[in-house]
Structure 1
């Protein structure tokens, strides 16, 4: 069984297209778990109007942020394979099969993304390659300094990785995807898919910032990641 986990907020404009691209790849007994983070718009109504029994939607009473939304969605997932999805992208054909196959011998899988409408262009300067899968220390260094392009919208995990992933440390107020990448590398069980698994829609309302970050933000993020690297090793030993 495959569980797709999504956190939604103010997604009424694009979420139907993304949900449709996901459902097209799911079997009858799979599920799409959506945690809506108290959206003030019609996001929930748009999803409910799709009327597919594979969709499970939960609503937060108050806004908690997208990291907590994903954390809750993963906790609600029932499948052996848990794939993450953003609300405003489009999945590429064959993504589910490719990721499930990769998860046969790894706890975490990460693929590449292209930019929607740009004919498959991969914007990452150093895209993920299959050869990097077994270079965990190099991957962890890449996460710390910011050049390994791990994005949650292109990632997934196996059921036995959920206990490593949850709970997401409270100091991860952003970048749940980097926490998952840290978990996969710390447990020496991550696979990189060199193929594009999602077309990302880049716009100003994305959770991923399009603007340059200040030095203070960068330093806080690096400290957060360093703490995560230590925490993942602690969980591995326990």
Structure 2
């Protein structure tokens, strides 16, 4: 049986994907896997992944480019592990990440960690979570809706049972699959917050998560989308408890 599945969406990530996968595979055991779903890369991302020739890597390709949200959704659906960790193609895992997150998932259904920036000291992390805030579920949901709770998919993991509520992603979800996971996690139970960063995020012009403030209309649309997502998550969580 597969213990851990690392879910990775790739798109034109040839410049970084080998470094990311190296930092991931160094921490995985023989019964773990990396589920890579490529979203129609136009560079040699796929060739670089295949060249690693690691049997723990399972590579799939989207027939058409569907965007990162749907690609992560597909990767989660293909995963076979009991524990699922997300990864971004352009980051680097911090040593000890796997053990820390697996231990946290022994207590909680969803885990999120602080995030550092590649090239900067790990402490203090650029995006910090406090362990004491994990049980404050209502506060965490409110801060997600406001846009100041730092849940990054590249620093999150979940138990397989969460997929019952998490999948499928709402059809209107065009971004922020990580915040969708944060909402679901907080509705199902406390999310484990790990203060130590588990990943060093690479900042560049093609980051999926914006590195600068967006326009007010864009922010308002994102808040409305997350409000709708919260309603969907609450409905699914209630339905799951009723079964």
* TM-score, normalisation: structure 2: 0.95
Report 1:12-161 matches (<5 A): 12-120=14-122, 121-124=124-127, 127-161=128-162
- After the TM superposition, list the runs of 4 or more consecutive aligned residues in structure 1 that deviate by more than 4 angstroms: none
RMSD over aligned CA atoms reads 0.8
Q: How many Å separate the matches in 1 of 2:105 and 2:48?
A: 32
Q: 2:16, 2:90 within 8 Å by CA — same for their partners in 1?
A: yes
Asked whether the 8 Å contact 2:136–2:190 carries over to 1, the reply is no
Structure 2, unaligned runs of 5 or more: none
Which residue does the alignment assign to 1:194?
A: 195
Output aligned runs, 1:168-183, within 5 Å: 168-183=169-184
Distance 1:107 1:74 in 2: 15
Residues 81-139 of structure 1: per-residue CA shift (max 9 Å, x gap): 00000001000011111101101121100001100001114223xx2111111100000
Give the TM-score, by structure 1 length: 0.97
1:16 offset after TM fit, Å?
0.1
Tell me by how many angstroms 1:71 deviates.
0.2
Residue in 2 aligned with 1:166? 167
Gaps of 5+ in 1: none
In the alignment, which residue of structure 1 is the partner of 2:234?
233
Aligned match of 1:213:
214
Q: What is the CA distance between 1:158 and its match in structure 2?
A: 0.3
The structural deviation recorded for 1:229 is: 1.1
Size of the aligned set, in residue pairs, is 236
